[in-house]
Structure formats: C-alpha cells, structure tokens
Amino acid sequence: MREAKERRRKWAQNITPRPSKAGKKSKNVIDSETEQKPNTADGFLPEDIVQMLAARERYVDLTFFFSRAKYVFLLEQISKAIIHLQSCFIS
C-alpha cells in the first residue's frame, strides 16, 4: 500500500507544472533589456525601429512621387507629339 502511495506521489510531482530555471533566466534578460532602454515606454516601439519605419515610408513616398512625375512627363510628351501631328495634317 505504501509503495502505491509513493508511486502516485512521484507521478503527481512529475506532471505538476513548475517554473523552470530557464524561465528565471529569461525573466532576468527581459528585465535587463527594459533597464537598458528606459526611453521606450510600454506600448511603444524602440526609437531605432520607428526611425527605420519612417525611412521606409519616405522612400515609398519618393518612389510614388517620381513615378508620378515620370507619368506626367510622358503624358506631356505624348500631347506635344499629338499636337505636332495634327499641325502636320492640317497644313
């Protein structure tokens, strides 16, 4: 009887979840990261990530601007060519 109780107790200990030692280490790493970057408030991205995203957005805006400028330039050239062809046929 005593052996059965001991076996059940060991089995219960094996399946009972306990905090791991790795969990304690990772918690310390997380704490040290927050200590290193005090300017990052909860819910906000770090400054370097914000700067990277802003630079990407500026690049996309410039790409759109230049592609639009190129499109407008081509339309102007086509309009000039049409006007020139019309003047050739009229005279």
pLDDT per residue as tens digits for the range 7-18: 888 888 887 777
**18-57 per-position pLDDT tens digit:** 776 665 555 555 555 555 555 556 678 888 888 888 888 8
Domains held by the chain: number: 1
Burial class of residue 40 in the structure, from the number of CB atoms within 10 Å of its CB (0-12 exposed, 13-18 middle, 19+ buried): middle
57 lies in which domain range?
Answer: 2-90
